[in-house]
Structure 1
Amino acid sequence: MAPAPNAVAQMLGLLGDEWTLLILQRAMLGARRYGDFHDELPVSNSVLSARLASLTHDELLVRREYQTRPPRSEYLLTPRSRSLWPMLTSIWAWEQRFVDDHPQPLPAMQHRMCGAVFAPQVECRACDTPVSDKDVLAHWGPSGGWDRCIPATTTRRRSGARRTPAAELFPQTMSVVGDRWGFALLVAAFVGLSRFTDFQNQLSAPPGTIADRLTLFTGEGILLNSEGRYRLTEKGRALFGVLVCALTWAQRWFPAPDGPAAILTHTGCGQRFLPALTCDQCRNRLRGAQILAV
């Protein structure tokens, strides 16, 4: 019997899809009704209906009827989807710092508590110390292993021919993180894989899939290919906050009966690492409701 998918697999199956991320993005910006999503995204009726149904099934949105004659419904965020704000805030900050080709400049982030324009900083929740990927050790937990991290999903990546950058707030992140194999490959790079055959064997992905994602990552400057080894660049390592916030979200909402998929340890204090986002200006911990676009 195949091992049960763990929290990482469930996260990749849910969030490693570009349309899902775009719909949740729009919902956090205020979209509620079917027409809102259809007007703001270059999506077909069939794809939009399917994603809204799956998001409702997975408790990322809740469907509420607001009119009976004729019947009309709206789609509202749930506690599960609202708690994605650290991941989305990290994406926002990464795009501001590293991506210049937005159709319109991204707004700055203002911290309501101190009034300053800020960038989020990742800290260890146990010792309140700023951390980077170099300060955190990762090893598999009881439900870990690459074989349990591969999502069982049939969702297909959105074709580049249909991409409409003007409809995307985070175009480069969506092209990299908004794809289950791209997300999995990025995680693999953070834990030390660097060769084409290692990515292929560990992720059990077709060679063409691995080649496509590696080409994308190197083209975007996230990986550097040096003599057949793919290394994370500064830009790639800066995605650390996105990944640890996504992993923390996954293990909170999809715990496995036999234990966590991955265990992170902060080398500075020796404690289990859980990320906290703080304001780099006042050093206070952030809350989603305290972040304003200016």
Structure 2
Amino acid sequence: MGRTLGLLGDEWTLLIVQQALQGVGRFGQLMSALPISNSVLTSRLNLLVREGLLRRHIYQTNPLRAEYVVTDRSRALWPFMLAIWEWERRWVPGHAEQLPTMHHEACGHDFAPVLSCGACGKAVEAKDIDGDWGPSGSWERSVPESVTRRRSDSDSARSSAGLFPETMMVYGNRWASALLGAAFRGVTRFSDFEANLGAPPTLVAERLRAFVAIDVLVATQNAQRPDWAEYRLTEKGRAFYPVIAASLQWGQEWFRAPEGPAIVQHHRACGESFEATFRCDECHEVLTGHDITIVGRSDRTIAGEEDR
């Protein structure tokens, strides 16, 4: 889990993978598409190749030219990206108008993804799932690996211009993603966040302030100790669970430890092991990456005008 959070909890990783999934794979194309320096792009591409999310393909030998293409490992991130899109669409004011429309080819409708149990098919929320550490799970092993240099919030704000601004605040920092995971596991007090994550207190305070500012957490007073602040998930924060579930499932599949899974989850309603699946809210069938098309708003507008 530390390896997964270290990769997905980095804004540049997500931005580069997002571009690669759309077919932008040449170095110059990525430089033009992203507000990124030459050295940072080079280091992230090397990392993504090393971790199996991209493959370097030589398409010209004289002079040498290469492009970076997606692998099965990066293509498997589509549920994670879809969950991010849905959360931003519903919970970030003003950003929904900028996002493209997702169309389900199987039923012919625009859709919203619904997180569901793979065993019984029912829609689920965080409160419906019981989870505990598995054979390879612990707080220590869930601390994100420092696979990239930590960047300042001002740098993060600039880099997130091409993707999802509030998601980058919640997940585009390796400690932020770990702190949110702790909140979903019931941690509420500052000292407990600090102790469980092993993070510097200044960093914990910075992340908590940022989460409160965007209404993902709310600070409340402890009933027995008014001098203690407790940080609890808001409705908006709880709605981020599909993103967490998708990232956990991806990590468990592609970075499984030899001794077994890091987290074991069960769906309370049916009692089966929880496997996160996403269903179409229109036809209720399980979504697959092949059945989803992205329709830009400008394309939809033009199509509508042509129909008229």
Assess same fold via TM > 0.5. yes
Match of 2:225 in 1: none
Equivalences for residues 238-257 of structure 1 within 5 A: 238-257=239-258
Q: Note the C-alpha offset of 1:38.
A: 0.5
Matched, 1:78 2:71: yes
How far apart are the structure 2 equivalents of 1:31 and 1:237?
33
Match of 1:4 in 2: none
Question: Aligned to 1:187, what secondary structure does the other structure show?
Answer: helix
Match of 1:148 in 2: 141
Q: Is the 8 A contact 1:106 1:169 kept in 2?
A: no
Q: Which amino acid aligns with 1:81?
A: S
Matched, 1:215 2:209: yes
Match of 1:125 in 2: 118
Q: Note the C-alpha offset of 1:293.
A: 2.1
Match of 2:234 in 1: 233
Q: Note the C-alpha offset of 1:104.
A: 6.0
Equivalences for residues 1-294 of structure 1 within 5 A: 8-102=1-95, 105-153=98-146, 155-162=148-155, 163-164=157-158, 167-227=161-221, 228-294=229-295
Q: Which has the larger radius of gyration?
A: 2
Q: Which amino acid aligns with 1:25?
A: Q
Tell me how large the CA RMSD over aligned residues is: 1.4
- Paired residues in the alignment total 287
Q: Relative to structure 1, is the Cα distance of residues 274 and 154 closer, same or farther in structure 2, using a 3 angstrom cutoff?
A: closer
How far apart are the structure 1 equivalents of 2:102 and 2:93?
17
**Per-residue displacement from partner, 1:203-247 (whole Å, max 9, x unpaired)?**
000001100110111111100111111111111111111101100
Q: Is the 8 A contact 2:13 2:44 kept in 1?
A: yes
Q: Is the 8 A contact 2:11 2:159 kept in 1?
A: no
TM-score, structure 1 as length reference: 0.94
Q: Note the C-alpha offset of 1:159.
A: 2.8
